[in-house]
Structure formats: C-alpha cells, structure tokens
C-alpha cells in the first residue's frame, strides 16, 4: 500500500535514514541521478532531477519548483487563475521512497513520484497526487472502502526521425498481428525486461488496432500506486524506444482520423478485503454497493471527461464505433459502452471483477482522473444510486427516440462541452478542491484557444509528440 501520509519539512518519519541508505545502494549500482516526477494539470509529465548523493536532502527538505506549472499548457504557454499562474512562489517536491524505481531503460537513473508542499509545510492545493491520496484515505476512513486500480496503456511506435513532425509507423503488420509482433521483437523484449526489472507486473503486451499501435496492461494496485505506475511505465516505454531509434506517442489521436490511444481505467471497490463487484446478488454478481458505485461513475461521465479526456486531441479519439466508449451506457464485456463490466472468468471472479472506464486517455493526469472517478463512484455508493438497464451492442445504432427512452446520451463531443459539464458538477469539482478545479477550467480553456481554427489533422499534429 502507498503511504498516505503528507510530507513534512525535515522529512516523513524514517525517510531521511532510508534515503541515506538508498543513495549509497543506488550509487553502488551505478545510479547517478534521481528523476523526481509529477504530472501537471494539462497532463504533461514534469520533472526535476537530483544527483543520487542529494536524495537524503530531497527526502528531508524537498526540491524547489515553481507552482506555475499547474497552469502550463501542453505547448508550455501559461494561463492564470485567481491563485495560480503567477511567477511568484516556490514549492517543495518530496519523493515517495516507497515508489522509487531504478530505471532499466535509462541506465544511470532512478525515478520517484513526488508530492508537493509549500515552504510552510502545507499540502499544495494544486498537487494531484495529494488530492488522490486524500480521497483514498477518506474513503477508507469514512466509508470503509478501499480500491484496486490499473490503467491500460496504448501507444503508437513511429520512426525516430519523425520527418517534418509526422508520424511514420515503425511497423507495418496488421492489428493483433503476428507480423507486427515479429517486426517489434527486439524492442518489445527489451521493454518487457525493463518493466520486469522495475517490478512492474505486466499482464500482457500486444499489437493494437491502429497503425504502429501497441498496448500493455499491468496488474492492479492501490489507486495512488496505479497512477504512479502509469507514469513510470510510459517513461520506460519511451526510454526503451529511444534506445531503439524509435519515437512513441501516447497522444489520444496520433492522426486526425481513425482509432486513437486509450488509457482505459480499471477500478474495483473493496470492503473488508472483499471485492464488491463479485459474489453479490445483483446483475453479473455485483453487490448493491457496486451497482451504485458504477451508477455514480456513469452519471457523472459528461463532467468527468474534462479530467479524463483533457486535450483537444481527446475528441478526435472519442468517436462512435472506435471502442473508446462515447455513450453513457454500461454493459458486460461491451467494448462500445463507456463503462464495461468485467466479471472475470469463473474461478477468478473474487479477485478479477472490476469496472472499466473507457473514455479516459493518456493526456489525462492519472492522479486527477482516478480521484474524480472514485469521487463520482463514492457519491453513487453513498446515495444508493440506481444503475439503469444494461445496453449491449453498439449504442450508435439506437434510434434517437429509443436512446432517449433508455437514457442513453452521447458524451461531450468537444473539450468545450466537457468543460461546460464540469462547471456544473459539484461533486467532481469538489473532489479536486476549488484551486485545482479552477486550474482545470483555465487550462482546458487555454487548450481550446490554442487549438482554435485547426482542422483534425492540425489538432493531431499539434499534440502528437506532447504526451
């Protein structure tokens, strides 16, 4: 389990001694520097690094970084809110030593996610990892509910020279194809080795549908660790690719048309060590609480999209019949439903049953995405929300009258629509707190303005190499 304690000036109890020992051990293993990593509101990974010898100092006093990054856009321009975006101020970045990994794809480096606090030792309200830690701690304390989560990762592998900024697939074989597996053999084997060396338990790796696309799925962890792992796995996929002369894109839409890169989010709620999504008396073995949790997520998806699909490029992916789940429906193993119920196979259900939220991509800050999805689900659980009827097949085929009668809605088709929904959703905004909720609105509006006037190919090109 992830430590849910906030960092404190001087270091969390025991951390300085631990970091001192770690830094000696890492130096002995040829590690020269540690990457301190977080994800900003726009979904861009931001880092500072310290020499390995400074790890104990970082564990004690943190490393400085401006809060201005909370309102950076993907193109590094800056917007402002009442509180954020000013050139003033400084924050301290504290590594979570439990999550430190020696980077097998980047010899000489280790990596750790950070929490950010103020110079006065207060949690920084813009820190997404802190927000998620608190939501998870609060759910355990107030509701006796814990979670297991995993984020699937899809990415496109292109030629490393990126001619003119273009994406040229580095492999040509078909979707799920043996040809593509052979073409990518050395890269994929090195990637599996690197992930294993970093303690990432990979479930599977396969060639995906879109040109040059692959997917990796990993085992479930507590939500904070799952978000950390999502960042670490992407860092590793990119690092191994660069060593093979390849370029990777996690952008929701690498091209203006066609199937995009998803970041499907798997989540299960547990009480007293028992999976609420299995062994119950409701549909597909769900307990009443699991149904209500699922109903809560489903009902708030339009607003959640401002967090789970935060880029103008997200809406190139979120089109019907591309398995991205753009209708407010749920179904068992239904790949066009926004929420897919995964029961697992007989014999594995107690462990494996979960819900999969599909309109999530890898432009999303995974800490914020998990925080908001969990908050929506908990709101459903605590209000005993009713889960509507299941819809199977592709909802795009439903005639308008039937869709309306069954409560089936198309999810927002643009970032502007998602932001409008987010503004109206008290529960999702409250999950983030006012400072971060305002940052989400300001950053999304900044991205909308940045993409204004671009056609689909222009949007894809603008964000292709950002994520």
313 or 427, CB closer to ligand GLU? 313
Question: Are 333 and 356 within 8 A, CB to CB?
Answer: no
Contacts of residue 118, defined as CB under 8 A and 6 or more positions apart, other chains included, come to 91, 92, 124
Q: Which residue is nearest to ligand GLU (CB)?
A: 262
- Report the alpha-carbon angle 419-385-356, nearest 5: 65
209 or 270, CB closer to ligand GLU? 209
18 or 358, CB closer to ligand GLU? 358
The verdict on 336 binding Mg ion (CB under 5 A) reads no
In the complex, the smallest distance separating the C-beta of residue 30 from ligand GLU, rounded to whole angstroms, is: 37
Dump the DSSP string for 39-59.
E-TTS-EEEEEEEGGGHHHHH
In the complex, the smallest distance separating the C-beta of residue 154 from Mg ion, rounded to whole angstroms, is: 5
* Binding residues for Mg ion, total number by CB under 5 A: 1
- Residue 107 CA from chain centroid, whole number: 25
In the complex, the smallest distance separating the C-beta of residue 316 from ligand GLU, rounded to whole angstroms, is: 10
Site for Mg ion, residues 166 to 185, rule: CB under 5 A: none
Rounded CA gap, 7 and 64, in Å?
14
> How many residues make up the chain in this entry?
467
- Residue 22 has φ and ψ, to the nearest 5°, of -60, -40
Site for ligand GLU, residues 319 to 358, rule: CB under 6 A: 322-324, 335, 358
68 or 153, CB closer to Mg ion? 153
Contacts of residue 305, defined as CB under 8 A and 6 or more positions apart, other chains included, come to 314, 318, 359, 411, 412, 418, 421, 422
Rounded CA gap, 318 and 459, in Å?
14
Of 40, 96, 115, 154, the residue at the interface with ligand GLU (CB under 6 A) is 154
In the complex, the smallest distance separating the C-beta of residue 340 from ligand GLU, rounded to whole angstroms, is: 9
Parallel/antiparallel/unpaired status of strands 145-151 and 337-342: unpaired
Decide which of ligand GLU, Mg ion, none touches 61; Cβ closer than 5 to 8 Å per partner kind: none
Rounded CA gap, 2 and 156, in Å?
31
In the complex, the smallest distance separating the C-beta of residue 41 from ligand GLU, rounded to whole angstroms, is: 22
Of 180, 277, 317, 429, the residue at the interface with ligand GLU (CB under 6 A) is 317
- 433 CB burial (10 A radius; 0-12, 13-18, 19+): middle
Of 59, 104, 149, 259, the residue at the interface with ligand GLU (CB under 6 A) is 259
In the complex, the smallest distance separating the C-beta of residue 337 from ligand GLU, rounded to whole angstroms, is: 11
Rounded CA gap, 418 and 169, in Å?
31
In the complex, the smallest distance separating the C-beta of residue 162 from ligand GLU, rounded to whole angstroms, is: 22
Tokens 């608190």: give the residue: 134
105 or 262, CB closer to Mg ion? 262
226 or 324, CB closer to Mg ion? 324
Using only C-alpha atoms, what is the Rg of the chain?
Answer: 21
203 or 426, CB closer to Mg ion? 203
Of 85, 128, 212, 262, the residue at the interface with ligand GLU (CB under 6 A) is 262
User: Taking contact as CB under 5 A, which single stretch among the options 117-125, 211-219, 435-443, 452-460 is the one that binds Mg ion?
Assistant: 211-219
The verdict on 215 binding Mg ion (CB under 5 A) reads yes
- Alpha-carbon distance values, 444 to 262, 316, 372, 414 (Å): 19, 16, 16, 11
User: Taking contact as CB under 6 A, which single stretch among the options 24-32, 172-180, 181-189, 316-324 is the one that binds ligand GLU?
Assistant: 316-324
198 or 314, CB closer to ligand GLU? 314
- Alpha-carbon distance values, 225 to 60, 219, 375 (Å): 22, 11, 17
* Binding residues for ligand GLU, total number by CB under 6 A: 12
Question: Are 48 and 65 within 8 A, CB to CB?
Answer: yes
124 or 234, CB closer to Mg ion? 234
Decide which of Mg ion, ligand GLU, none touches 450; Cβ closer than 5 to 8 Å per partner kind: none
215 or 447, CB closer to Mg ion? 215
Residues that bind Mg ion (CB under 5 A): 215
Residues that bind ligand GLU (CB under 6 A): 154, 209, 215, 259-260, 262, 317, 322-324, 335, 358
């Amino acid at each position: 389990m992830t430590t849910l304690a906030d960092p404190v000036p001087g270091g969390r109890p025991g951390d300085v001694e631990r970091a001192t020992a770690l830094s000696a051990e890492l130096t002995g293993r040829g590690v020269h520097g540690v990457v301190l990593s977080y994800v900003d509101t726009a979904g861009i990974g931001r880092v500072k690094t310290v020499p390995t010898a400074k790890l104990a100092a970082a564990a004690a006093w943190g490393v400085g970084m401006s809060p201005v990054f909370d309102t950076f856009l993907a193109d590094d321009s800056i917007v402002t809110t009442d509180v954020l975006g000013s050139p003033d101020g400084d924050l301290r970045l504290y590594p979570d030593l439990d999550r430190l990994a020696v980077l097998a794809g980047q010899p000489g480096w280790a990596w750790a996610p950070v929490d950010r606090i103020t110079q006065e030792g207060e949690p920084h309200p813009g820190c997404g990892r802190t927000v998620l830690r608190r939501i998870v701690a609060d759910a355990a304390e107030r509701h006796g509910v814990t979670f297991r989560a995993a984020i699937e990762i899809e990415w496109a592998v292109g030629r490393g020279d990126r001619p003119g900024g273009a994406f040229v697939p580095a492999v040509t074989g078909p979707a799920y194809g043996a040809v593509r597996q052979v073409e990518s053999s050395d890269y994929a084997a090195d990637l599996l080795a690197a992930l294993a060396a970093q303690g990432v338990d990979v479930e599977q790796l396969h060639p995906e549908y879109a040109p040059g696309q692959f997917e990796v799925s990993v085992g479930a962890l507590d939500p904070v660790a799952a978000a950390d792992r999502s960042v670490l796995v992407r860092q590793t996929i990119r690092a191994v690719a660069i060593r093979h002369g390849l370029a990777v894109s996690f952008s929701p839409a690498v091209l203006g048309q066609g199937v995009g890169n998803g970041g499907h989010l798997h989540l299960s709620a547990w009480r007293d060590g028992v999976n609420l999504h299995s062994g119950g008396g409701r549909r597909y073995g769900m307990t009443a609480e699991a149904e209500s949790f699922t109903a809560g997520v489903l009902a708030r998806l339009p607003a959640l999209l401002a967090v789970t699909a935060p880029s103008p490029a997200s809406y190139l992916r979120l089109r019907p019949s591309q398995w991205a789940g753009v209708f407010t429906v749920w179904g068992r193993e239904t790949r066009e439903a926004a929420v897919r119920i995964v029961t697992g196979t007989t014999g594995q259900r107690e462990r494996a049953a979960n819900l999969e939220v599909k309109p999530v991509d890898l432009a999303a800050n995974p800490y914020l995405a998990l925080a908001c999805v969990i908050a929506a689900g908990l709101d459903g659980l605590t209000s005993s929300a009713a889960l509507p009827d299941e819809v199977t097949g592709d909802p795009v085929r439903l005639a308008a009258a039937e869709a309306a009668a069954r409560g089936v809605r198309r999810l927002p088709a643009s970032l502007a629509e998602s932001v409008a929904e987010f503004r109206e959703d008290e529960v999702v905004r409250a999950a983030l707190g006012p400072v971060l909720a305002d940052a989400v609105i300001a950053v999304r509006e900044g991205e909308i303005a940045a993409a204004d006037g671009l056609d689909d190919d222009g949007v894809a090109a603008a964000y292709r190499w950002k994520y």
